[in-house]
Structures are given as structure tokens and as C-alpha cells.
Amino acid sequence: MSVAAVIVSYNRKELLRRCLTSVAAQVPAPDEIIVVDNGSTDGSVELVRSEFPSATLFETGSNIGGAGGFAWGVELAISKGHEYAWLMDDDAEPAPDSLAPLLEVAAHADVAPGFLASAVKDEDGDELNPGHLPAVDPSPEKQLRARALGCIAITHATFVGVLVNLRMAATMPLPHRDFFIWLDDAEYTRRLARRSVGLFVPESVVKHPVKAANPDMAGRLFYYVRNHLWLTKLDTEATGLAGSVSAKAADLVRFAATILPASRSKKLWLTSLSRGLWQGLTTSPKPVMPGELLASKE
């Protein structure tokens, strides 16, 4: 079972060093470590070349967001013939032997899972990180299948230590680059879970900083609103259920109103909300199939 660890990085040199050190120390170790750098200017590229020379370094040349970085990471892992890709941000820190339980479950599953997710905990590794809680799948059939493996069936996961089935990934669009930040991981892993099952593997632990909520989202409110609308639209198209995009838009407006008092720039708040609603309602992310990114570079 060939596995590539895929780490997307942007200007977090010290966190990247810690992440790479933890990944390289896994037993068994990944067959390849791929670092996708999004145009870092803090010496991250030089760090990889000098301290982790065996890692494969891919430079995107600019900040294309986490979504763009993971699209490239999955693209490269598929092109190199790996069966699984272990995806994570550069601020993730896998605990010792956290890859092994994922591989063990994958090897013994009677039906190949679409993805296997680690338990994401706080920096001390004591408590579950509230920003990465498992989303329990309501399907009794999937839960019974997961229970036989000592797991929990889940509907989606974040790109923090998630092991993706690349044979399945090769048959569907890559993570949507157009999301840029936020929800690209939820959308992508939902697709994988619908094809098979997504598994939460509690014995596998990845530590990740608990980030305090900032009520002043500034320009990022645009991505939050647009991407939530995109996710709702894509879920509706995939499931065939009558999901209400207009109801989601109303929810997002109400949410935006709650953070207005904390927004330093009311003009930016209004512009970001308006743009997010317009693009979310009138556009959709462009699907890109595996192979197309590399072909575009030729």
C-alpha cells in the first residue's frame, strides 16, 4: 500500500519544520512526502531543501490558497501512482504512530473507504479540537460497517491528517481550487464518503492549534459566504435532495449581521457580504479532473 504524505505550506516555517519532523518519524513512514509550497517568502522552501532533502518539493509560485494547494497535492500523488494520500496543513503535528492505525483499518476494510480521518486534538493532544469534530454519518449500514473496524462512520473531514483513497479520487474532480480557503475539504471528503464510506479512526491522533474565533472576519467574510453557498448547491446537486440555497443565503445574512458590530470596516463588511452572496448564488466552482493540472503545465 503506497502512501504519500501531502503537506500544503505558506509562510509558517517553524510549524512546517515540526510537521515534517513528525511525518518523517512515522512507523511505517510514508513512501513519499510531498510539500506543496504556496509562494512562501519566510525561508520555508530553503528549509525543505536543506533539512528534508528526501521530500518532494512542489512550488506553486504564488498563494493559491489551501484549496489550490491540496488540488495540486492530490494531483501529484495520483500521478506518482500512490494508493493513498495523507493530507494535512503545515500547522498539523501527527502524534507518533498516527499513520499506522489508518493503514491498518484501510487494509482490513471489506469495502475500501473513501477516506480515513484522524482524531484532531489540541496542541497538547489531550482534548478533541472543537474546530475539527467528527461529523457522524446517520446511515445505520455505514455505522455497522465502521463499528466492525473499531471506527465511526462520518460524512466529511478536514484536511488535517485525512487519508484519501486515491483510486477513488482518480475518478472524480480534484478538490475545488476556486474555494481558495474554507470548506474545500468538507466538500471533497463528502464526495468520497458518498461513493463509499468515511471513517473516523480514534487511535490515530493529529495535534492542531485551537484557533480562537475572530468576530472581525474582514475580507474573509466573502469566502465564508460564497463557499457556504457553493457547498449547499453542490450538496443539493449530488444528493438530489431539495436543499434550499435561498434559505442558506438568509442564514448567512443573519450570521453576518451578528459580526457587524465587531467589524472595523463597515464598508468592507458590506462589500464582502454582497460579493459573497452574488458569487455564491450565480456561480459555481469549476471542476478539474486529475491529470488536467499537470497537462496545463506542459
DSSP 8-state secondary structure symbol assigned to residue 153: E
Over the range 148-179, which residues count as b (16 or more CB within 10 Å of their CB) and which as e?
ebebbbbbbbbbbbbbbbbebbeeebbbbbbb
Residues 247 and 159 in one domain: no
Would you state the cell numbers that stand for residue 288, as one nine-digit string?
478539474
d(CA 83, CA 170): 10
Whether 155 and 202 map to the same domain: the answer is yes
Does 142 have pLDDT greater than 70?
A: yes
Residue 291, in any domain of the structure: no
Domain extent for 186: 3-211
pLDDT at 87 over 70: yes
Q: Is residue 73, in this structure, part of any structural domain at all?
A: yes
Same-domain status, 28 and 164: yes
Answer whether residue 222 shows pLDDT above 70: yes
Identify whether residues 204 and 256 lie together within a single domain: no
Q: Calculate the average pLDDT of the chain.
A: 96
Query: Tell me, what's the pLDDT at 297?
Result: 83
Q: CA 228, CA 18: separation in Å to the nearest integer? A: 32
Is pLDDT of 298 > 80? no
pTM tops 0.85, yes or no: yes
Contact 58, 76 (CB under 8 A): yes
Residues facing residue 94 across a β-bridge: 206
Residue 214's pLDDT is 81
Percent of the chain with pLDDT over 70: 99
Is residue 147 in a domain? yes
Q: Checking DSSP bridges between strand 160-165 and strand 115-121, what pairing results, if any?
A: antiparallel
Do the domain assignments include residue 288? no
Cα 176 from Cα 284, distance rounded (Å): 10
What is the reported pLDDT for 242?
Answer: 63
The pLDDT, as a whole number, for residue 69 is: 98
Domain presence at residue 290: no
77 in any annotated domain: yes
250 and 207 both lie in a single domain: no
